[in-house]
Amino acid sequence: MTVIQAVNAVKNYGLNGQQVHALRGINLEFQSGEFAAVAGPSGSGKSTFLHLAGCLDTLSGGSMIVEGQDVAGLSQKQLALLRRYRIGFIFQAYNLIPVLSVEENIGFPLTLLGVDKQEIRDRVRQVLTEVGLTGMERRRPKEMSGGQQQRVAIARALVKKPAIILADEPTANLDSTISREILELMVRLNKSEGTTFIFSTHDPMVMDYARRIVRIRDGQIESNEVT
């Protein structure tokens, strides 16, 4: 099943009085269960594509279809619900809430969904086991290493059981050993849960793990290959 489809997708930005063409009419789709990388140099448009696919930004032209819905036709409330229920995000900066504990950071999306407290505790406990952080429930982000914080970010994305996880440069702040551990964790979760993972990256290690690599340069697709 197609979960994300870009049709003649165009994104332009205004920058210092100039028009920047971040995406130049790309056509691209991803199927359920893929483990794919959108790769390219800085400024190529790869992160822009991820933000559009995740309904964090809006197109200048064309269409972005997520799970069969053309997001251009959705209200802000509908977009928020789509992000909340169906899409998980992992960012290079982790974006954890510093005053909350690990379990509170992970459970926060479920609180927004109105899940009852006991189920939140059960699901947080399960996902902590999956990402190898059992016993760290009470720690604050500042008490953890970068790799551990990224595992918390992954757990937070997974806990609501989204259909799609979008990861924007998830290994950018990690050394090679931790990056490999994080990627192997994601591969296991992709296989066990069937979750679709799409990365934006310029990290060769991420591309080694990806089963499909879409290369973007200057807002256009340069190549699209199954590895």
pLDDT at 225 over 90: yes
Whole-model pTM: value is 0.90
- Domains along the chain? 33-61+75-226 (3.40.50.300)
Structure tokens at 104: 């509170």
pLDDT at position 167: 94
Determine the Cα–Cα distance for residues 69 and 65; give it in Å rounded to an integer: 5
pLDDT at position 171: 85
pLDDT at 109 over 80: yes
pLDDT in tens, 146-203: 889 988 998 999 898 899 999 998 888 788 888 888 899 889 889 988 999 999 999 9
pLDDT in tens, 21-72: 999 999 999 999 999 999 999 889 999 999 999 999 999 999 999 999 999 8
DSSP 195-206: -EEEEEE--HHH
Q: Quote the distance between the C-alpha of residue 47 and its chain's center.
A: 10
Contact (Cβ atoms closer than 8 angstroms) between residue 90 and residue 158: no
Determine the Cα–Cα distance for residues 120 and 124; give it in Å rounded to an integer: 6
